[in-house]
Structure 1
């Protein structure tokens, strides 16, 4: 089995903790000094890694920019009550991007975290993704 971990670059660890701990309900598992933290409470470990804006992850790559940006890879957090979870996330610094939408499989709130990363909150309904999966 392959273990999946999520690494999220941030430039302000205090603001990141306020969002991911207070806003989403994750808990600090361990700290790595000023470098970052490991969070638990999701099905995979989430690491918040302090990386200043303007630095690059690899030679030739685009510099880190914490304004709202898009990447095809993002995080979805499954919650029991998407409306309550979205309100909590917004109080902790997220920006709700549109109304909570309902689909056959569930409800989804599209947000940007305080660092411009896309985050979705999903509340499954009925049989979840099985409602739209091919038989």
Structure 2
């Protein structure tokens, strides 16, 4: 299975700049004026320009206010404090303080397009610390 990540955004250039600065991604291919590929994660991320108010699903117009979704993206980092500072400078907003767990540290963020993100720093054996 090949996994592709698609993120709807209202402003393609702003989103491309944000994710490049926040996560160190690079621009891959462009598909016309409405899609750009970002590389540097384990799966490519495609930013898709979609206007606010257009149908995201039948009867469910897109909006880019912060919204809950059952899907969010986790970014594993070596240094959570440094990565958090970079993400904030790029334009993401912390939704929680850094939380410590047996497996590592985590902080939840939101981007200006309504998407949820988490930064994770594994400590010791990471998730293996709690796996059964």
The reply to whether TM is greater than 0.5 is: yes
Shift, 1:58, TM fit: 3.4
Q: Provide runs of 4+ in structure 1 moved above 3 Å.
A: none
Shift, 1:59, TM fit: 2.5
Give TM-score scaled by structure 1 length. 0.93
Distance in 1 (alpha carbons) for counterparts of 2:130 and 2:51: 41
Structure 1 residue aligned with 2:37: 38
Cα RMSD between the aligned structures? 1.0
Aligned residue pair count: 132
Shift, 1:90, TM fit: 0.8
Task: Tell me if structure 2 keeps the 8 A contact 1:19–1:114.
Answer: no
Give TM-score scaled by structure 2 length. 0.96
Distance in 1 (alpha carbons) for counterparts of 2:12 and 2:34: 9
Gaps of 5+ in 2: none
1:27-59 Cα offsets, whole Å, 9 max, x none, are 111112211111110011111100011111332
Gaps of 5+ in 1: none
Distance in 2 (alpha carbons) for counterparts of 1:68 and 1:57: 15
| Alignment partner of 1:76 is 2:68 | no
Structure 2 residue aligned with 1:8: 7
